[in-house]
Chain A
Amino acid sequence: MNRFVQLAICSLIVMGATAPAHAAGTATSNFNVTANLTSKCEITAAPAPVVFSYTSFETAAVPATGGGFTMRCTNLLPYTLSVPAGGTLIGLAYTLGTSAAGGTGAGLTAATHSVTGSMAANQSGDCAAGSCTATATHTLTVTY
């Protein structure tokens, strides 16, 4: 090999050794995101008073008025509503219920329900005057 050829080979080797690194690669790795949601229901507006106006010995059952309330629950969360079965005031027995047994949460969209009530017909009541009034406090419970 003559000297010219040797020089050419060495040049090529040097050029190859100093060539730019234009071929780039990628590396990936997975990671998890975990969301823990504690679901909840809220009564946003407490029930309005449940009002009975009754005259002794009514010939038909008397429904109550009022009792409306609003609530909200986590989206898709099922819930049930409950109130006491009823009570007796000034000799008048009444029953309580709710307009719906329960429902499914709709997030920020409030649900409107009501506490219902009824007084059976033909009750006397206890009152020594022309009219009497009485009030009792009960609790509405939302279970989820």
Chain B
Amino acid sequence: MKRIALASALAACALLPLSANAAGSAADSFNVNIALTTACTLTTPGALAMTYTAFGAAAMGFTSFDVKCSEGLGFGLGLDAATVTDGATGLPYTLALKAANVGDASVAAGTLNGQTGTAAGTTYYVQGYIAAGQAGTTTPGVLNNSRTVTVSY
């Protein structure tokens, strides 16, 4: 009787489908390699406007631009010219790169070095300054008021 029961059980097992409970995993490692080339970008400064009355007080104006450089990257700013005579008015003026728009009768400052890049960006300023007591001219000269600011890194 026991033999019959065992044989029946074996036969029943043989009829069962393959079980689908096999589970496992296989894993392997891989590398992510990153090569970063640093860079700086800057926005275009707006027009720097100064209003001056002949023989009058000094005039001052500012424009600004934003610089973004790779975080930690050192850079410097430069102007193509810092002492200029306006061809249209005959008024000499100076330009100065500044980290803040705090006006002063500063001398020309065509460079601002030693800056460090931030991902969020930093606002810089160009100050224009026309000294007091100048006559100017009404004879139009050559317009030469297009200036260039450069970020070097």
| Chain A residues in the interface with B (C-beta under 8 A) | 30, 32-34, 37-43, 46-57, 64, 67, 69, 71, 77, 87, 89-92, 94, 96, 115, 117, 123-144
Chain B residues with CB under 8 Å of A130's CB are: 37-38
Chain A residues with CB under 8 Å of B64's CB are: none
Chain B residues with CB under 8 Å of A115's CB are: 30
Contact of B33 with A by CB under 8 A: yes
Interface range on chain B (Cβ under 8 Å from partner): 35 or more
Contact of B23 with A by CB under 8 A: yes
Q: With the chains together, A40 CA to B13 CA distance in Å? A: 23
Q: With the chains together, A139 CA to B72 CA distance in Å? A: 31
Chain B residues with CB under 8 Å of A92's CB are: 34, 36
Asked whether, in the complex, the Cβ of A135 is within 8 Å of the Cβ of B34, the reply is yes
Q: Which residue of B lies closest to A38 (CB)?
A: B22
Q: How far is the CB of A22 from chain B (nearest CB, A)?
A: 34
Interface residues in B25-73 by Cβ distance below 8 A to A read 25-41, 68-73
